[in-house]
Chain A
Amino acid sequence: MCNSGISDHKAKIESVEFLSKDIVSMWLKNNTIDFKPGQFLMIEVPGSALRRPFVIVEKEAKDLRIVFKVRGKGTKTLSGLEPGAELKLLAPLGNSFPELPKGYSPLLLGGGIGVVTLLPLAKLYSKKCSASIILGADTAGSLILLDDFKKCSKINTCTDDGSAGKKCNSVQLAKDHIKNSKEKFAVYACGPEPMLEAAAKMCKELKLPCFVSLEERMGCGVGACVCCVVRTRDGLKRVCKDGPVFNAEEIIWRY
């Protein structure tokens, strides 16, 4: 009996496109995987002993999209594969972003490559209500998927060096946005850990709900090997199985 709904799928690469010097958008031909916003998959990379986790960014017709930063051997190999190459994907994995609490408007807060995790939510809310979207990066070239997000809602951007959008960090921009608005927001965040910790702190001060999607090095992706743990108020939890999305109040941050 399979209660988890997980299975090992196959998919051929449909296209590989570099969005910046080190960020890759890859479409995979597959119509057997269903997913909820926030869920991820583990891809078998040729020549690698461990599969690599990637959040599922969107599904269009019969294609799934992942977007990732080339960081090490696995992502480098993956980015160099040609369309037509067949990959194995364990999916769908992890929990998903919780539904919008009643009376709140969604505020999507993304930093760096973490913005890709929020696109499924942006698409979801574009049908229901208007989400506030705040996207930050170190520099203009790393600010990605802007057109995709713009199709969903109005976006606000910032960079550390001021080369695009406001010159500030994304949490500061979110704070200004919240203060200048009459709405009550629930924050959905994904990005580097110091940014998520700052977002959690801001939400605590403003008494707003905050959900964060975390990242950690994984072995199995299904909760068996307990390599990807995070410290919470209820003890250690597994990012791959109990997360990757957590209520920010639960997390005991390392920074």
Chain B
Amino acid sequence: MSAIKVRLFDAELKTPLIPASGVWGYGDEYDFVNNEFLGAFSTKGLSIKPREGNPVPRIAETECGVLNSVGLQNVGIKCFIEEKMPKIKDLGPKIIANFFGNTEEEYMDAARSLGAVKELFALEMNVSCPNIKTGGISFGQDPKMIEKLTSEVKKQSKKPLIVKLTPNVSNIPAIAKAAEEGGADAISLINTVRGMSIDIRTGKPSLATPIGGYSGKGIKPIAVRAVYETAKAVKIPIIGMGGIYTAEDVVEFMMAGASAVQIGSAVFSDPNICETIAKDLRLYCQENKIKDLSSIVGKAL
């Protein structure tokens, strides 16, 4: 599998494939999946205090993907460290802890607690949450807020810090650049796109919230564009995601500038999808005489 190894933060990932935050739980549910094909996995979003999330229904299928509004339900960082970490630390894949907060202090506390966990590979900061102190504008929508938040959070731990960006802004590269200037070690994008659907038989929205996050095949062009624009704006590595289902999709994201990728909704179609994609990526490398998959990163730039 050597051709499809990639490097991230001075470490080697067996494959560029990382199940995305939210689809892989805390890593202990997919015990029937062959972990050999995962470069890493990103945990469910964690917060200092446990969170209940939104009412059901929390998920709905739409024409080209999935809408969800789980509402960041999670067990809290203390429980994650004490109860989940012992179960997942020896599974094999590197563990990225995804976290969020509703104030700068909550983000900093979360980064400090998770930063102290030896077995974690990196931290991934979800900045799509509303900042309750500014009346609900999400941290990820304002370059100044992002730069300050990133630099404060970065001081809390020595782990590589990935900043996960929302696509629901007009200028993604400006936000990415702000995160880079704040000291981010990588950018991951895109988070889900705000969306909704209505069940025309009942006249009611499909989700209880009723607006949720749209993911899956339909958002791929938006994600490829976001990765491409961001790659032109920043020097730090990019982890691309949004509608990746096949090895060809992975190649496309890497050519747009992604050093690694995350797999989200596709896991729902096929829990073993990373195995399929990894094998197809190997074939792609053989057929195209590529000795090192990383060599295609940014080819389209």
Contacts and interface: CB of A to CB of B under 8 A. Distances in A.
Contacts of B62: 49
Given A8-B272, A226-B70, A50 B31 contact: no
Contact of A49 (B23, B217, B272): B217
Contact of B25 (A4, A48, A225, A235): A225
B30 A227 contact: no
B11 to A, nearest CB: 24
A227 B65 CA distance: 15
Interface string A109-153: 000000000000000000000000000000000000000000000
A45 B265 CA distance: 15
Contacts of B216: 49
Contacts of B73: 226, 229, 236
Contacts of B271: 8, 90, 220, 222
Interface stretch (B51-59, B115-123, B142-150, B278-286): B51-59
Contacts, number: 103
Contacts of B12: none
Interface stretch (A96-104, A163-171, A211-219): A211-219
Interface residues of A, number: 34
A88 B269 CA distance: 10
A217 B23 contact: no
A174 to B, nearest CB: 27
B94 to A, nearest CB: 18
A146 to B, nearest CB: 29
Given A49-B217, A220-B23, A226 B53 contact: yes
Interface string A41-52: 000100011110
A74 B70 CA distance: 22
Interface string A218-241: 111011111111100001100001
A219 B29 contact: no
Nearest to B266: A49
Interface in B7-48: 22-25, 29-32, 44
A2 interface: yes
Contacts of A48: 61
A42 to B, nearest CB: 9
Contacts of A223: 25, 29
Contacts of B24: 224
- Prevailing SS type, chain A contact patch: loop
Nearest to A228: B56
B59 A236 contact: no
A219 B66 contact: yes
A73 interface: yes
Given A49-B66, A225-B268, A219 B25 contact: no
Interface in A20-75: 44, 48-51, 73-74
A218 B31 contact: no
Given A49-B269, A217-B56, A227 B31 contact: no
Interface residues of B, number: 33
Interface string A3-30: 1111110000000000000000000000
Contact of B59 (A3, A217, A224): A217
A51 B216 CA distance: 14
B31 A49 contact: no
A216 B268 contact: no
Contacts of B268: 49-51, 219-220, 225
B3 interface: no
Interface in B253-301: 265, 267-272
A88 B271 CA distance: 11
Contacts of B59: 50, 217-219, 225, 227-228
B182 to A, nearest CB: 31
B60 interface: yes
B270 A88 contact: yes
Nearest to A226: B73
A7 B275 CA distance: 14
Given A1-B31, A226-B44, A241-B29, A44 B270 contact: yes
Nearest to B64: A49
B141 to A, nearest CB: 26
18 contacts: A4-B31, A5-B32, A50-B59, A50-B66, A50-B268, A88-B270, A219-B66, A220-B271, A223-B29, A224-B23, A224-B24, A224-B30, A225-B22, A225-B23, A226-B58, A227-B59, A235-B52, A241-B29
Interface of A: 1-8, 44, 48-51, 73-74, 88, 90, 216-220, 222-230, 235-236, 241
